[in-house]
Structure 1
Amino acid sequence: MGSIDWYDKALAYKENYVEVLKGLLAIPSVYDESSKTDKMPFGEQIDKALRYMLNTGERDSFVTKYVDGYAGHIEYGQGSGLVGVLGHLDVVPADGEWTFGAFTPTLTEGRLFGRGTLDDKGPVVAAYFAMKLLKDSGYEPKKRIRLIMGTDEERDWQCMEHYFKYEEMPDTGFTPDADFPLIYAEKGIIDGYISLPPATAQSDKLRLVRFHGGKALNMVPGQAEATLSGEDLTAVEQAFAAYLTAAGIDGRAEVKGNNILLSVSGKAAHGSTPEKGRNSVIVLAKFLQSLPLHGDVTDKLNWLVEKFEDYNGKGIGLGLTDDVSGPLTLNLGECKMTETDAWSIGVNIRYPVTAAYDTVKENLLNELAEAGAGFKQSSHLASLYVEKDDPLVETLVDVYRRQTGDATDILAIGGGTYARAMKKGVAFGPLFPGAPDSAHQQDEHILLDDMIRAIAIYAESLYLLTKDDHI
C-alpha cells in the first residue's frame, strides 16, 4: 500500500466511530436470565447488541454471520489463511451512581462515558473501523480478516465454546481487550462457589437475617447489604455510623420496625486487579463481626474475613507467585446468606502461568475441607503464554512502537481475554500506558484520541499479518 500515515487515515473515521459506538453503548447488554431463550441464550439485550454490529457490517458490505445467538463475525478478504480479532459485546452490570448514566453514552472533553466503552465495545468498534479503513483503501489481503464477537465473556465463555464448535479457528490473531503494548501471558482463572452450612442458631437479641453483596465473580463488589433483626437497633445504628466514619467509607442504616438494613459502598474494580478496589462484602463483614450475634454466625464472619480479606490468597493457602506473571489474586465477587440457607461465596482465582492447575485446586479444597466448606467450580480457563520472540508478538509490538515511539516492555496480566480461546493469540490494547483504567467501574470511559490511535495501530497490524503468508 506504499507509504501510509495510518493515524491520518484513522482520524478520518473519528465521527463515524463515535456514531456507531454510541449506538452500541446505548444497548444495556448485561446477561439477563429473565429474557433468555433458545434463540437468545444470554438475553434480549445482548442479542440486540450482536445484531446491531452485524447489521453495521452488512451496511458496509462486509460478509457477516450470526451464530445461533452465541456469537457472530464480520469478515473480509480471500485466501485459506484466517487472522482473527476476538472481542465481546456483553458488559458487566452498572452499579452505583453514574455522572451521565451507564447506558446514556456521553462525549465530553475528549472522553466518551458509558458501560462498555473500554470493556469491550469501544475496542471492538475500533477493530471494526481498522478493517473498514483497509477495505475502503482498496487493500486486498492474502488472508481473510475476521472480527469475531462473543456475548458471554463476562461470565462463562459459553459463546466461544459454541462458536468454535461450528466455525473455523483462526490461525493466529489478537483480542483488543487489555493493554498496550501487548499481553503475552495471562494467568489461569478458576471461578466457583464456596458453600458454608447455615448457622446452627441465632441470638435471641440480634439476628443476622440476610447478608448479600456483589453481582459478578470477576468484579470487586461495590455494594453490600445486611439485614438484622432484634432489640436495641438504635445502638447498632450508632455503632454503624461510627464505623463508617472511622473506616472512611459511605453507607447508610435504615430502621424498619424490628429490622435494620445496613448498606455500604466500597469501590468496584476488575477482578483481575482486586487491589484497585475496596471489597464492600469484607467491609460490611468486619462491622458485623463486632455485633453481639450468635457465636456460630460470628465464627462464619470471622472465617470470611480471615480467608478473603487478603487478595493474594494467602489467607486460604494459595499464596503462589512466579517471575512471569506475579502473585496469585483472589477476588470475593459474590456473597449470599439468609437465615435458613447455606452461605454462598463466589470467588475468582487467578493463578500464575507457571503454576499447575491441579496444585491450586488441591490446595483450595484442602483448606475448605478443614472448615467444612464445599466448592463447586463453574469454570476454568487455562493460562496463556506466548514466547516474546514469536513472529506474532514481534509484528504487533513493532507496529505499536513505530506508531507511538513507546518502548514499554510487553506485559503479563491476571485478566482473562479471548486470546486464550485461539490456537495462537495475544491481547493487544486498547489501553495505553498511563491512561485511566475504568473497566468494571462507575463512569467507565475511554479517551477518544487514544481510540483513534488504536484504530491506526490495528489497521497497520492487520495489514502486516495478511499481506503475505509467513506469519
Structure 2
Amino acid sequence: MADSKTLEHIDQWVEDNWEDVVKDIEKLVNIPSQEDLDHAGEGMPYGPGPLKALEAGLEMCERMGMKAANHEGYVGTADYIGENDDKKICIIGHLDTVPCGPGWSQDPHKMTRRDGYLIGRGTLDDKGPFVVSAYAAKYWHEQGYQFPYTLRFILGCNEETGFLDVYYYKEHFEEPAFIMSPDAEYPVSAGEKGIYQGVFTSGPISDGKIVSWNAGEAPNAIPSDAFVVVNADISKLPTCPGITLTDEGNGNVRIDAKGKGGHAAKPEGTKNAIGMLVDYMLDNDLVSESERQFLNLQKTLIDDYSGEGVGVKAEDELFGPLTIIGGTAWKDDDGTLHQSCDSRYPTTFSCEQFEKALSETAAKFCATYETDSDTVPFWIDPNGQEVQRLTKVYNDLTGENRKAYTLGGGTYCREFKNGAAFGVEMPWRKDPDWVGGMHGDNEGISEYALKLSLKCYILAIKEIMEIDY
C-alpha cells in the first residue's frame, strides 16, 4: 500500500484534474460510435462513428504526451515509452458502443451530469473507464516516473460486435507481458465465461398476421423497448401493464412493450421487451397457427434464462450457472421469423452441446437453429502476482476484503495469454432507478466510482510495473 503522503498527493491530483477528466469523457460520449458497416470503407472498417471516436481518443492520448498511432482504422495504440520497450504492459479499452433503443429519457449521445452521475451511452461501457485509465497513466508521466516497461494503451473500436480490432492487433504486434481492461467489476476478473450466439428460424409462415417486426438493439443486450405491428382490430384489444397500443390504419396495430433491459451476461432483474410482446400476442390470439409455434419457441427461450427450457442448463464451480437470453427478433419479407440467442456458459458446456440441444428444441416447434459464433471460457491463475496485486490495490483503497472472481461478460482480456479485467463496476453499490447499466437505457456511472477507479489505476500501474517480467 502506498504511504499516506502519496495517497494525499493522489487525492489532490484527482480533484485538481477532475473537470478535465469529465470533459474528455463527454467528448467521447457525444460521438455516436456504433458499428455501421453500410458506410465502412478504407481507413474505417467499422464505419465513420468508430473512426471518429478512435481519432478523438488518440488525440487525447497525444495531449497527455503519449506516442499515438492509428492502425488503418482497425485499432489505435498510444505509448509512454519505458526503459524496456521490448516488453509492454497494456491497458485496453473500447470506444465503440452498442446501439441505443427508444427508451432513453435523454439524448444518449449528449452526456448529462446529474446528482453525481454521468449519463450517456459509453459513460460506463467503456469510454468513461478508458479515459480514467489514461489519466492514471498521465499522473505518473507528470511525476517524472520512468516506466520500467513501455505502457501501451490499446484503443479498440470493435469490441461489441466482432473483436476484429484485437485480432488485427495480435496479427501485427507481439503479446504484451500483461494486459488489463477497465471493462468489468472490481476487484479483479480472473476468468470469463464462454460466449455463444446463434439464431432460431421459423418454418414457412402461412396466413401470417405479423406485418413487421424488428426488435432489440443487439444480440448481447436484453431489450428494454420493442414493438411489433400486427393485423388486428384495436378496439378488441385489452390494456396491459407495459404495453401501448397504436392504431396504424388499414386494420394494423402497433404494439409497444416497455421492459427493463441490460447486458446479456446479467439477466437477473431484467424484463425482456420481446418476451412481453410474445406474451401479449399469444394471450390475445394475434398470430396465425404457424406464427404461434415460433412464438411459443421464443417464450420457451426468453422466460427462463437458466436454459432449462431449451435444454442447455449447466454450471461448474469456477463460473457458476449458464445463462441464455433472447436479444433480437425480426421478420423477413417472406414472413419468416427469427430469434437470436446469447449464452454465457461454464466449462461444462460446449458449442457442440449447444447445437444439439437448441436444434432439438427448434425441431419441436417446426423451426431450425444455426450457430453464429462461439468463444470458449478463459481464466488465469487467481494466485498469480498480477491478480493478487490488483486485488490488494482495490481492497487497500476501500477497506474491503473482496476476492478475485469470474464473470459472464466478455472482455478483450480473453484474447491474450496473460490478462485480467480490473474494475470499474461495483454492483453491490445501489444506484438510483434513473441510472441504467451496461447496454441499457440511460446508461450511467457515478463520479464516485470513476474517481475511485482513477486512484485504483494510478496505484495499479505502479504495482504491475514493479513485477519482474
> Which amino acid in the other structure matches residue 20 of structure 1?
D
Match of residue 96, structure 2, among 90, 95, 113: 90
Q: CA deviation at 1:289?
A: 1.1
Task: Report Cα offsets for 1:145-182 as digits up to 9, x if no partner.
Answer: 11111111111111111221112221212110010111
Structure-to-structure mapping, 1:9-408, within 5 angstroms: 9-78=13-82, 79=84, 80-199=86-205, 201-202=206-207, 207-229=209-231, 232-235=233-236, 238-239=237-238, 241=239, 244=240, 248-290=241-283, 291=285, 293-338=287-332, 340-408=334-402
Q: Are 2:443 and 1:450 aligned?
A: no
> Which amino acid in the other structure matches residue 182 of structure 2?
P
Task: Report Cα offsets for 1:231-290 as digits up to 9, x if no partner.
Answer: x4421xx32x1xx1xxx3142322412222212122111111122321111111111113
CA contact (8 A) 1:193 1:345 kept: yes
Q: CA deviation at 1:209?
A: 2.1
CA contact (8 A) 2:395 2:401 kept: yes
Q: CA deviation at 1:93?
A: 1.4
Q: How many residues get paired?
A: 457
Q: Are 2:455 and 1:460 aligned?
A: no
CA contact (8 A) 1:217 1:348 kept: yes
Root mean square deviation, CA, Å: 2.0
Give the share of equivalent positions with the same residue, in percent. Answer: 26
Match of residue 12, structure 2, among 5, 8, 29: 8
- Counterpart Cα distance in 2 of 1:388 and 1:131: 25
Matched residue SS, 1:128: helix
- Counterpart Cα distance in 2 of 1:141 and 1:417: 26
- Counterpart Cα distance in 2 of 1:4 and 1:69: 39
Mean Cα displacement is larger for which, 152-161 or 332-341?
332-341
State the TM-score, normalized to the length of structure 2.
0.92
- Counterpart Cα distance in 2 of 1:255 and 1:224: 16
> Which amino acid in the other structure matches residue 419 of structure 1?
C
- Counterpart Cα distance in 2 of 1:233 and 1:101: 31
Q: 1:67 to 1:374 in 2, by over 3 A?
A: farther
Matched residue SS, 1:276: coil
State the TM-score, normalized to the length of structure 1.
0.92
Q: 1:386 to 1:147 in 2, by over 3 A?
A: same
Q: CA deviation at 1:424?
A: 1.1
- Counterpart Cα distance in 2 of 1:468 and 1:413: 25
Q: 1:39 to 1:453 in 2, by over 3 A?
A: same
- Counterpart Cα distance in 1 of 2:301 and 2:327: 14
Q: CA deviation at 1:435?
A: 4.9
CA contact (8 A) 1:142 1:468 kept: no
Q: Which runs of 5+ in 2 are unaligned?
A: none
Q: CA deviation at 1:452?
A: 1.4
CA contact (8 A) 1:7 1:453 kept: no
Q: CA deviation at 1:369?
A: 4.3
Q: CA deviation at 1:384?
A: 1.5
- Counterpart Cα distance in 2 of 1:386 and 1:116: 28
> Which amino acid in the other structure matches residue 65 of structure 1?
A
Task: Report Cα offsets for 1:59-95 as digits up to 9, x if no partner.
Answer: 2221112111111011113212211111100111121
Q: 1:58 to 1:257 in 2, by over 3 A?
A: same
- Counterpart Cα distance in 1 of 2:286 and 2:328: 25
Matched residue SS, 2:91: strand
Mean Cα displacement is larger for which, 154-163 or 251-260?
251-260
- Counterpart Cα distance in 2 of 1:233 and 1:108: 40
Task: Report Cα offsets for 1:22-48 as digits up to 9, x if no partner.
Answer: 111110111123321132111111100
- Counterpart Cα distance in 2 of 1:435 and 1:118: 15
Task: Report Cα offsets for 1:408-433 as digits up to 9, x if no partner.
Answer: 23222211111102211111101124
CA contact (8 A) 2:391 2:403 kept: no
Runs of 4+ residues over 6 Å off in structure 1 = none
Q: 1:355 to 1:338 in 2, by over 3 A?
A: closer
Q: Which runs of 5+ in 1 are unaligned?
A: none
- Counterpart Cα distance in 2 of 1:128 and 1:289: 51
- Counterpart Cα distance in 2 of 1:281 and 1:213: 7
- Counterpart Cα distance in 2 of 1:77 and 1:11: 27
